[in-house]
Structure 1
């Protein structure tokens, strides 16, 4: 599950002030006390209040005067500020969710490849006890399989073996469907009984 994005304190305070302006708690043209009053209201440092007010001033929501305090400048701009933050926050959350999902997908794919590799290694070690085991065969340039789909090849009916994967360069395609097309230099990973191995290899080449 994606972690919740933390909003900085100064931005939360700026949003709260803007919300109070939109809700009518603060009226356009009204003056409110200086930073020290806001410090006590929000129980934060003067620097945090300074950053909050600087942000609102940049958005023309308030005017800040060193000696006479803070004046509410625009309810409309306060509303636009809240809308802009909401859009930006939603975008950031969606972006983070996508990154988290991609990382999770990558982790699952790596784990799956490791499990498949371990399974193949384990099954290969059982060849001498007569169990169904995986074999690998290269699709060479003269193979009639090239350009055909697995559905067209009807592999199991003609060989008695089942293709469980196809290695292509650095990729491993697990349980390829009937529309998967074979190309030159593919490595077929298949399972079968020992007595049909030669038949399968002959069919592939």
Structure 2
């Protein structure tokens, strides 16, 4: 699992300086304290300060020379630096949140599939004591749904049945997705209310009506 996005110290310091410039606490044309003084102020190493100042220099917020030291050159660029960071930080946070949601989705799908498998297993074992039992229906060779997907056939809308599995040769496909295409001799496992079996049979293997 990826670590949560954390803003590095040198970026936080660069932002703090940029905010000071934009708010008018530090004026254009004035000097910024030396690296050693800044390192002491922010309780970081001089290397961290060097990286902070390099960011501001790259954005033309400050100018750095050996003789003059660090000079503030643009309040407008300080504002632009702040806005650029907000955009990048927002995108980074969105990526973190998206990664977290993807992991949660995968875990949820795993739990759903495990529960469906358990329902199928138990219903076969205990079908005579009143528990839910999935219906089964084989897709015959003349079925109009062959090579069509679950989604494209509007299976639930047309039958009011919920597909919980597909038996295909020796394999059992648990909780098939909407893009799974039906094949000849597939056995559909489904659940639903009274009359749903007849709905599915008429839809999957119609005697006279087309799909």
- The alignment's TM-score, normalised by the length of structure 2, stands at 0.72
Which structure 2 residues correspond to residues 1-205 of structure 1 after superposition, within 5 A?
5-129=5-129, 131-143=131-143, 150=155, 163-167=162-166, 172-173=175-176, 183-185=182-184, 186-191=186-191
Label 1:133 to 1:43 Cα distance change in 2 as closer, same or farther (>3 A): same
Q: Is the 8 A contact 1:35 1:69 kept in 2?
A: no
Q: CA deviation at 1:86?
A: 0.7
In 2, Cα distance between the equivalents of 1:168 and 1:86? Answer: 51
Superimposed CA distance per residue, residues 7-56 of structure 1 (whole angstroms, 9 cap, x where no aligned partner): 00000000000100011111111112310110111111111101001111
Structure 1 Cα separation of the partners of residues 128 and 139 of structure 2: 25
Alignment partner, residue 158 of structure 1: none
CA apart distance, 1:143: 3.6
Determine the C-alpha separation between the residues in 2 that align with 1:163 and 1:36.
69
Shift of 1:164: 4.6
- Residue of structure 1 equivalent to 2:208: none
Cα offsets for 1:99-143 (capped at 9, x unmatched):
221221121111101111011101111135565422433312124
Runs of 5+ in structure 2 lacking a partner?
A: 206-211
d(CA) in 1 for partners of 2:23, 2:75: 9
Query: Structure 1 length as normaliser, TM-score?
Result: 0.74
Q: Distance in 2 between matches of 1:51 and 1:163?
A: 59
Q: Answer yes or no: is the 8 Å Cα contact 2:164–2:175 preserved in 1.
A: yes
Distance 1:45 1:187, change over 3 A: same
- How many angstroms apart in 1 are the aligned matches of 2:80 and 2:200? 70
Contact 1:140 1:184 in 2 (8 A): no
Query: 2: CA distance between counterparts of 1:152 and 1:29?
Result: 71
**Partner secondary structure for residue 137 of structure 1:** strand
SS in 2 for 1:188: strand
Partners in 2 of 1:145 and 1:29 — Cα distance?
A: 76
Task: Answer whether contact 2:159 2:200 (CA < 8 A) is retained.
Answer: no
User: Hey, what's the Cα distance between the residues in 1 that align with 2:62 and 2:143?
Assistant: 77
Structure 1: give runs of 5+ residues left out of the alignment: 156-161, 177-181
